[in-house]
Copies of this chain bind each other. A is one copy, B any other.
Amino acid sequence: MLTEIITIGDEILIGQIVDTNSAYISKQLNQIGVQVYQITSIQDERQHILNALEDAKKRVDLVIVTGGLGPTKDDITKETFCEYFEDTLVENVEVLQNIKEIFAKYIKQEPLPANLKQAMVPSKAEVLQNPNGTAPGIWMEKDNTVFISMPGVPYEMKHILTKEVFPRIIKKYNRPHIYHKTLLTYGLGESAVAERIEDWENKLPKDIKLAYLPSLGRVRLRLSSKGKDKKALQKAVDEQMEKLNTLLEDIAVGFENETSIVERVASLLLQKKQTLSLAESCTGGSVVKEITAVPGASTYLRGSIVPYETSQKVSVLGVSQELIDKHTVVSAPVAEAMATQVAKLFKTDYAVATTGIAGPTKGDAIDEVGTVFIAIASPKGVVSQKFSFGNNRERVIIKATNKAFEMLLKEILKN
């Protein structure tokens, strides 16, 4: 059973927004054994939509369309569905009721005619209720292919997908189980990893697929398989993953599937009832941003300082000016002092500190652009490491942020 996602909107094709809906839908569908064969982004244009629907019908069993359902004139998905299915629009009482309730509760005004028009749906459609917005989803069928249309607003789409679409898919289709597992490695290039695991890769069973995902100092290795017997499937992939993990023991830092490195740090700190503070200079808030994106961060994150100027490292953090004069501000002793001081200031078990030259210019630094020192203070003391992350500002910040989490995790696991 194959699926195609079609996202409609000129804003995608002129690069004004990044289409994140498709990745979300794909990931969720995989969880219930539905494979996405293709993702297609098209314009808000009648003939283009008609062509895309017809092309998708030839390729797949299920077509999921998002976008173009708003109340304004540039939204034409519903009318075009009507044309494709040779149907007409009729008023749906439940949708009308929902629209009125939303306006009464949140907007505290009478709905406008354009809003009420959103209660019009194709007569042959099954309606997928959208309690978070005024545009309903619809489910229609043609020549054994199912077509679903949902609004493009992410949180409306997510609710309809989970609550309305999934139960219907599970009821209608026999689906295999799909299982992915991804190993995270740091420090070795894609081809060097490939060479190390060549013998193992050659012996990999045909129904297990290996993918290499290189990015910014790390390579992720994904094994994927699908089949009817969920347990046997997982066992086969887990066994291969175990072998792979052993082969790459020195560079593997864990699996991606279950939890990100940030979530692992979070769950360990919560479990151990320990606390964390941050002093981020060159990463400029990038580490704290990742941490506070995970709910519950307030339980273990006591505080964070971005001492962007050298003088702040002295006046706010209390790093000694002598130490900075002696070693320069981008140095191991200063990184370590920053970590120790911020841990003291916020009274925390752990602290992360970064100091470096993100670029594009060196400022008054002695080291090259891309030089970063990261220090971790823990109940056992303080450790630091020096890195050279190249001369691209964005990449330096991302790499330093990744590395900071990697070092922090290592220290937490030690204690």
Q: Are B28 and A214 in contact (CB under 8 A)?
A: no
B12, B115, B308, B395: the one within 8 Å of A39 (CB): B12
CB distance from A403 to the nearest CB of B (A): 17
Q: Please indicate the chain B residues that have their CB under 8 angstroms from the CB of A363 in the complex.
A: 298
Q: Please indicate the chain B residues that have their CB under 8 angstroms from the CB of A304 in the complex.
A: 285, 304-306, 308
Check A16 for interface membership: any CB of B closer than 8 A.
yes
Surface stretch bound by B, among A19-27, A165-173, A376-384:
A19-27
Q: Are A191 and B71 in contact (CB under 8 A)?
A: yes
Check A333 for interface membership: any CB of B closer than 8 A.
no
- The residue on B at minimum CB distance from A215 is B153
B14, B286, B297: the one within 8 Å of A292 (CB): B286
Q: Are A19 and B16 in contact (CB under 8 A)?
A: no
Given contacts A304-B306, A393-B295, contact A19 B22 (CB under 8 A): yes
Q: Are A303 and B292 in contact (CB under 8 A)?
A: no
**Copies in the assembly, this chain:** 2
Q: Please indicate the chain B residues that have their CB under 8 angstroms from the CB of A285 in the complex.
A: 285, 288-289, 291-292, 304
Cα separation A414 to B207 with both chains bound (whole Å): 65
CB distance from A204 to the nearest CB of B (A): 10
Check A321 for interface membership: any CB of B closer than 8 A.
no
Cα separation A221 to B291 with both chains bound (whole Å): 34
Within 8 A of B (CB), among A297-328: 297-298, 301-309, 312, 316
Q: Are A392 and B155 in contact (CB under 8 A)?
A: yes
Check A255 for interface membership: any CB of B closer than 8 A.
no
Surface stretch bound by B, among A40-48, A139-147, A234-242:
A40-48
Check A18 for interface membership: any CB of B closer than 8 A.
yes
Within 8 A of B (CB), among A54-86: 55, 70-75
Q: Please indicate the chain B residues that have their CB under 8 angstroms from the CB of A291 in the complex.
A: 284-285
Q: Are B15 and A70 in contact (CB under 8 A)?
A: no
Cα separation A52 to B56 with both chains bound (whole Å): 12
B17, B25, B222, B297: the one within 8 Å of A23 (CB): B17
Cα separation A397 to B289 with both chains bound (whole Å): 11
Q: Are B13 and A37 in contact (CB under 8 A)?
A: yes
Q: Which of A14, A178, A302 has the most CB of B within 10 A?
A: A14
Within 8 A of B (CB), among A203-259: 209-215, 222, 224
Check A36 for interface membership: any CB of B closer than 8 A.
yes
Given contacts A288-B306, A297-B284, A303-B309, contact A72 B190 (CB under 8 A): yes
Check A100 for interface membership: any CB of B closer than 8 A.
no
CB distance from A175 to the nearest CB of B (A): 15
Check A93 for interface membership: any CB of B closer than 8 A.
no
Check A107 for interface membership: any CB of B closer than 8 A.
yes
Within 8 A of B (CB), among A250-305: 278, 284-286, 288-289, 291-293, 295, 297-298, 301-305
* 30 contacts across the A-B interface (CB closer than 8 A): A10-B211, A12-B23, A12-B39, A13-B38, A14-B180, A14-B224, A15-B22, A15-B28, A15-B29, A16-B180, A17-B213, A18-B19, A18-B23, A38-B42, A38-B43, A39-B40, A70-B214, A73-B194, A74-B210, A75-B212, A114-B191, A153-B215, A278-B306, A284-B289, A295-B360, A295-B393, A303-B309, A303-B312, A304-B305, A316-B345
Query: Hey, which bits of chain A sit against chain B, CB under 8 A?
Result: 10-20, 22-30, 35-44, 48, 52, 55, 70-75, 107, 112, 114-115, 153, 155, 178, 180, 182, 189-192, 194-195, 201, 209-215, 222, 224, 278, 284-286, 288-289, 291-293, 295, 297-298, 301-309, 312, 316, 345-346, 359-360, 363, 392-395, 397
